[in-house]
Chains A and B, each alone.
Chain A
Amino acid sequence: MGKQNYLKLLGLLIVIAGLPLLIRGDYYLSILVFMGINGLVVMGLSLLMGYAGQISMGQAAFYGIGAYCTGVLTTHFGLSIYTAFFFGIFLSIVVAILVGIPALRLKGHYLAVATLGIGEIVFIVFNEWMSLTGGPSGLSNIPVVHLGNFQFANSLRFYYLVWGINLLALFFSLNIIHSRVGRALRSMHGSETAASAMGVNLSFLKIQVFILSAVFASIAGSLYAHFVSFISPNNFGLMVSIMFLMMGVIGGIHNIWGALFGASLLTFLPEYLRVFDQYDILVYGAILLLILLFMPEGFLEGVPALYRKLFKRKKS
């Protein structure tokens, strides 16, 4: 990983550490927490889609598996949060392998539809397995995360927990991107024929990155469940999968920083648009449309490109 990325990472670390000094109030802090949680999912999605070129429209399934796993195990079975947490990761890995082996043989639209189906199946399980998940009425009283006697009870503490994990995941991802494995992922996106001729084991690598994205989503789901202490199937439906996808695309899914940025942007944007009352969805839709029209590469790469374009026009 180049020096530049370390500097960016350090910069982000400082911003995150200092942000609570400027922002007061539980409401704003909780938005920052959701940014971190969504960012984690979308980073995984960026590795899978932006780098490896494999689409997933069912990422909310793994998000939900993480959430329901810790939720159910801590409330119904009284397991410790850590056991439940790792069980969630384990289960999402198992599901990713079972689903990934057949699904990742598909390409493009077919893979999109297959993962859409997976998301829907998991959603139905959450809805119908009443005895465990509570069905549509949801699961409540999920306990607070603690480290020994230290309770992550308020938003500020949880903010640091979520973004701590988020930064570790970002560090891990950046290391992968700037490595032999990361180049193999991107080569697969560039040309599968050439990648395999250079010795890249396509099917193995696809499963690996699919698992990684599932683990990121599962961790995010667990954090979400313990933060809001109440979950219901609607938090993990198709619209949520599409929202994650949208966050990635808007921010720039080919760049992990873009993915993180997109997740943050689309987390706070709807909150800010409340000033438009009932028209907020309309304005939200229009903003997304404009970004996609003028910056198909996403925000992070689109803004400098747009700036250059405008600047050049003035010059000539």
Chain B
Amino acid sequence: MSEALLKIQNLKKAFGGLLAIVDFSVLVEAGQIKSVIGPNGAGKTTLFNLITGVHPVSAGKIFFQGKDITRLRPHQIAARGISRTFQTIELFGNMNVLENVMVGCHTRFRSGMLASGLRLPNMRRDETRIYQNSIKLLQMAGLASKAEMPATSLPLGEQKTLEILRALASEPRLLLLDEPAAGLNESETDRMSELIYAIRDQGITILLVEHDMRLVMKISDEIAVVNYGQKIAEGHPEVVQNDPQVIEAYLGGDIEYA
């Protein structure tokens, strides 16, 4: 059996005295849609921030494609092929829709400040490719007609889609989606699940944090459940759904009457 795309080993994260992630291990196989669920404050977003290098890890290791990425900085991790979206939308509000996606292409090209300032031929070639790639992505999602609009003027659903497109522009191996369906209505959520399937079909592995259980149960190949920074269950959606510990975490324990 080949090695997992992402391997997290005994991860720990403390913010001062608060243990956000206690001892967390998980494997993400290539080609999967894997979800991480858990009650609010369980440490799901912290997990994403640790994988992408936003916060330093307190203990434990993260391997991507067999290589240790635990101590790398965010831009280095992005260059290795991990891209992400954010729970609270982090679009570049000072740029238009197209430019947002174009920034996503950043890691795949090299031309620097001098080459850009002097408009050297390799920079012009890069620019053409960046533009074509980005337009193609916008067309795929039906946003091409809004390319020139300020990114934050889009409705919420489209902003979420745009964040995904921006992440896809880097041609990642692994895509981390932090609550892509939060705040979306039912039809928007359905479109989101179709988009996620389409991404998976391109061969991109997906790690998903989501509260919309209907979506999670429908699209996930595997689910890991966290509570208080610890994994309490893992497996196929049906298995997890019927796990007594999971039910307790979500609905609270039995009330004992005296």
**A→B interface (CB under 8 Å):** 1, 172-173, 175-176, 178-184, 186-187, 189-191, 193-202, 208-209, 212, 254
Indicate whether A190 sits within 8 Å of B92 (C-beta atoms), given known contacts A197-B78, A199-B79: yes
Q: Are A176 and B104 in contact (CB under 8 A)?
A: no
Q: In the assembly, what is the distance between CA of A183 and CA of B100, in Å? A: 8
In the complex, residue of chain B having the shortest beta-carbon distance to the beta carbon of A194: B90
Q: Are B75 and A183 in contact (CB under 8 A)?
A: no
Tell whether B127 is near chain A: CB-to-CB under 8 Å: yes
Q: Are A202 and B95 in contact (CB under 8 A)?
A: no
Q: Are A200 and B75 in contact (CB under 8 A)?
A: yes
Q: Which of B31-39, B117-125, B238-246, B248-256 contacts A (4 or more CB under 8 A)?
A: B117-125
Indicate whether A202 sits within 8 Å of B75 (C-beta atoms), given known contacts A179-B123, A187-B95: yes
Interface residues of B in 92-110 (CB under 8 A from A): 92-95, 99, 102-107, 109
| 26 interchain pairs, CB-CB under 8 A | A175-B117, A175-B119, A176-B113, A179-B111, A179-B123, A179-B127, A180-B106, A180-B111, A180-B126, A181-B112, A183-B95, A184-B106, A186-B92, A189-B94, A190-B93, A190-B94, A191-B91, A194-B91, A195-B92, A196-B74, A197-B54, A198-B104, A198-B170, A199-B78, A200-B75, A202-B75
> Lowest 7 A-B CB distances belong to which pairs?
A190-B92, A199-B107, A179-B116, A199-B78, A194-B90, A196-B74, A172-B117
Closest chain B CB from A191 CB (angstroms): 5
Q: In the assembly, what is the distance between CA of A124 and CA of B63, in Å? A: 52
Closest chain A CB from B51 CB (angstroms): 11
Q: Are A197 and B74 in contact (CB under 8 A)?
A: yes
Q: Are A176 and B126 in contact (CB under 8 A)?
A: no
Q: In the assembly, what is the distance between CA of A84 and CA of B89, in Å? A: 50
In the complex, number of A-B residue pairs with CB atoms less than 8 Å apart: 105
Closest chain A CB from B186 CB (angstroms): 28
Q: Are A172 and B83 in contact (CB under 8 A)?
A: no
Closest chain A CB from B162 CB (angstroms): 11
Closest chain A CB from B252 CB (angstroms): 34
Q: Are B86 and A195 in contact (CB under 8 A)?
A: no
Interface residues of B in 128-153 (CB under 8 A from A): 130
Interface of A is mostly: helix
Closest chain A CB from B179 CB (angstroms): 15
Q: Are A175 and B118 in contact (CB under 8 A)?
A: yes
**B→A interface (CB under 8 Å):** 52, 54, 73-75, 78-79, 83-84, 86, 90-95, 99, 102-107, 109, 111-113, 116-119, 123, 126-127, 130, 166-167, 170
In the complex, residue of chain B having the shortest beta-carbon distance to the beta carbon of A185: B113
* A179 neighbours in B (Cβ, 8 Å): 111, 116, 123, 127
* A183 neighbours in B (Cβ, 8 Å): 95, 99, 102-103, 106
Q: Are A194 and B111 in contact (CB under 8 A)?
A: no
Other 14 A-B pairs with CB < 8 A, given A179-B111, A194-B91, A196-B54: A180-B126, A183-B106, A186-B92, A187-B103, A189-B94, A191-B90, A194-B92, A196-B73, A196-B75, A197-B52, A197-B54, A197-B86, A199-B78, A254-B94
